[in-house]
Amino acid sequence: MRRQEFWAGIRATFPLLVGTTPFGLIFGALAVNSGLSASAAAAMSAFVFAGSSQFIAAKLFGSDASLWIIVLTTLVVNLRHSLYSATLAPHMKHLPQRWLVPLGFWLTDESFLVVDKRYRSDDRSPFKHWFFLGSATAMYANWQLWTWVGILAGQRLPNPASWGLDFALVVTFIGMLVPDLRSRPFAASALSAALTALLLAGLPNRLGLMVATLTGVATGMLVEKRLQPPKELR
Amino acid sequence: MTFQELLLVCGMAAVTFLVRWPVLTLVSRIPLPPIVLDGMKFIPSAVLAAILAPAMFLPDGTLDLHPTNAYWVAGLASALINWYSRNLLTTIVAGMAFFLIWRWLW
């Protein structure tokens, strides 16, 4: 059972690896092109393990921003992970710290999305954290591998941002969002989050992302309440 | 790795861990009200939409609705591909191909 969950986690994450692979590659290349040493870029992937904040940090480092600013920006950009933690936590109450510490460290957008779906599925498997572990292992190993490839490639090829590979992450996220849009409350939630994010895109440190997410959640709840009197819980 | 880079990696690792793990631990000890638990199911799609909209429509920080902006054209195409194929891997491969071809055409 444990092994099955672990492999199911890897399998469910596989399509997302296709989308994050180019992202890791560009991060490695961008990091060495913006003046980070190869070892610092690799250490960032190994110990921070948060793609979009690593990207921004590499860019800021290249523009000589102070360490404080970079660390603070990292904090704000990654704040959404606390929402993910809060969402998953009720399912993980029974787990000891030897599970919570590593799984907390390995939480990413991608693993959150597949693991949340797994926890919401109806069967009462007691080993869903093994699914999380499988998903996290796949994401982590893949991220390290492609960071290194990117570092090596970036030392030879300039201007990695212009390769167009950044669309890979966009298309991956589209593929994960669209199935939800068949439900009206979810579609309303996504639409309001998207509009809010566009309106607030000028805010520093991607704060607009947090506000837009919360707006989307509120809209989804309101529309759901309007559509159906409170009987069904998903 | 310079000392400055070491500080940078440690600082980033610390703040990132501190937005992920404490909430995971605390919320599992403190029960949340049902209305919060119910609303949480909207978080994945809301976050995705909030990340995607600026990435598609503001690729350089300003609103760009021209067909030369491959991000939104290929994004829309990818959404349609997913709606009809209902397959994530098909969407990623076909959407990425559409994006690269569209960018090359313009």
Q: What is the CB neighbour count within 10 angstroms for residue A202?
A: 10
Confidence at A22, pLDDT banded by 50, 70, 90? confident
Chain B contact for A180 (CB, 8 A cutoff)? yes
- pLDDT category, A233, cuts 50, 70, 90? low
Which of A19, A67, A104 comes nearest B92 by C-beta?
A19
Residues of chain B by 3-state class (helix, strand, coil), percent to 5: 80, 0, 20
pLDDT digits (tens, 9 = 90+) for B5-42: 999 999 999 999 999 999 899 876 777 788 887 888 89
Q: How far apart are CA A66 and CA B4, in angstroms?
A: 10
B55 touches chain A (CB under 8 A): yes
- The confidence band for A62, taking pLDDT boundaries of 50, 70 and 90, is confident
Average confidence (pLDDT) over A13-40: 90
Q: Residue A136: pLDDT band by 50, 70, 90 thresholds?
A: very high
CB contacts of A97 in chain B (<8 Å) are 25
B12 at A interface, C-beta within 8 A: yes
Residue B32: DSSP 8-state: P
Taking Cα atoms as reference points, which of A147, A144, A172, A110 lies closest to residue A27? A147
Residue A205 has pLDDT above 70, yes or no: no
Q: Flag whether pLDDT at A185 surpasses 90.
A: yes
A99–B contact, CB cutoff 8 A: no
Top residue of A174, A186, A227 to mutate, by most chain B CBs within 10 Å, is A174
Confidence band (pLDDT; 50, 70, 90) for A230? low
Assembly ipTM = 0.89
Cα within 13 Å of Cα(A81), Cβ side: 29
pLDDT in tens, B34-69: 888 788 889 889 989 998 999 999 988 889 999 999
Query: So what's the pLDDT on residue A231?
Result: 57
Look at residue A127 and give its three-state secondary structure.
coil
Inter-chain residue contact A57 with B8, CB threshold 8 Å: yes
Dihedral sign, CA of A174, A176, A182, A187? negative
Angle at A147 between CA A71 and CA A97, to 5 degrees: 60
* Pair of tokens at residue A68: 């404080």
Which among B24, B57, B96 is the nearest to A104, CB-wise? B24
Residue A186 forms contact with B (CB below 8 Å): yes
Residue type, A91: H
Average pLDDT, chain A: 90
Give the whole-angstrom CA distance, residue A136 versus residue A211. Answer: 27
Task: Name which of B21, B39, B75 is nearest A105 (Cβ-Cβ).
Answer: B21
CA-nearest residue of chain B to A176? B88
Q: Which residues between 121 and 160 in chain A have a beta carbon less than 8 angstroms from any beta carbon of chain B?
A: none
* CB nearest A70 (choices: B8, B40, B74): B8
Q: What is the pLDDT of residues A93-135, one digit of tens each?
A: 899 999 999 999 999 999 999 999 999 998 989 999 999 999 9
